Homo-oligomer: A and B are copies of this chain.
């Protein structure tokens, strides 16, 4: 099957590093779903405002190593989920890894509003520029399984760090600071590296932050506006 891009996601996630590993209800991160000209038809959204949540079906096309894999047409039956520290292999169909036979992503998001024909949603765990292939209403009686068993993902689901802001994040717009606090609290480090001296850098919405992680705390060392 050949999929057509119907829209592109636009948000502050210009850097793959720091993107949440899954969409989460409580995320303050806004994403704008900008329809392609052919699909930019107000009628196609008629009735969507009655739903609080939507599904996005999208493509992992910016995942670098995925690209070469897709080109080489090979796939690996197992992957190393970052939740497990990156050193344990699980079956690809038991994970949400981007490195899958068909690089399709699935995210439930909260519908915030419609603006100039675009959808504004929160909680999308996608990179800026991600192609969207489908948008569906979320149906709680069909899609919600509150008590589902979460396999090996279960024990890591509520891991949250404290975030300590250098100089109180002076100079950051309020919503950017809130978004960064949310992203840093999730522990964006690859695997569970435990070097308290190690400095990490992350871009979000035109800002670059430098931070370290010590035990359960993120220390933001520096905040810089990215020069265009």
- Interface residue ranges, A against B (CB under 8 Å): 1-4, 6, 22-25, 39, 41, 43-55, 57, 59, 61, 75, 77-78, 89-96, 100-104, 106, 108, 131, 133-153, 157-158
A138, chain B: closest CB distance, angstroms: 5
Give Cα A138–Cα B123 distance, bound, in whole angstroms. Answer: 17
Oligomeric state, in copies? 2
A213, chain B: closest CB distance, angstroms: 22
Q: Say yes or no: A100 contacts B53, CB within 8 Å.
A: no
Q: Say yes or no: B150 contacts A140, CB within 8 Å.
A: yes
A-B pairs with beta carbons under 8 Å apart, 25 shown: A1-B103, A1-B131, A1-B133, A6-B101, A22-B141, A23-B142, A25-B145, A44-B92, A45-B91, A46-B89, A47-B90, A47-B91, A47-B151, A49-B151, A50-B149, A51-B148, A52-B149, A54-B93, A96-B136, A101-B134, A137-B150, A138-B145, A141-B153, A141-B158, A144-B145
Residues of B within 8 A of A39 (CB): 75, 101
Given contacts A43-B77, A151-B48, contact A1 B61 (CB under 8 A): yes
- Name A151's contact: one of B51, B93, B96 (CB within 8 Å): B51
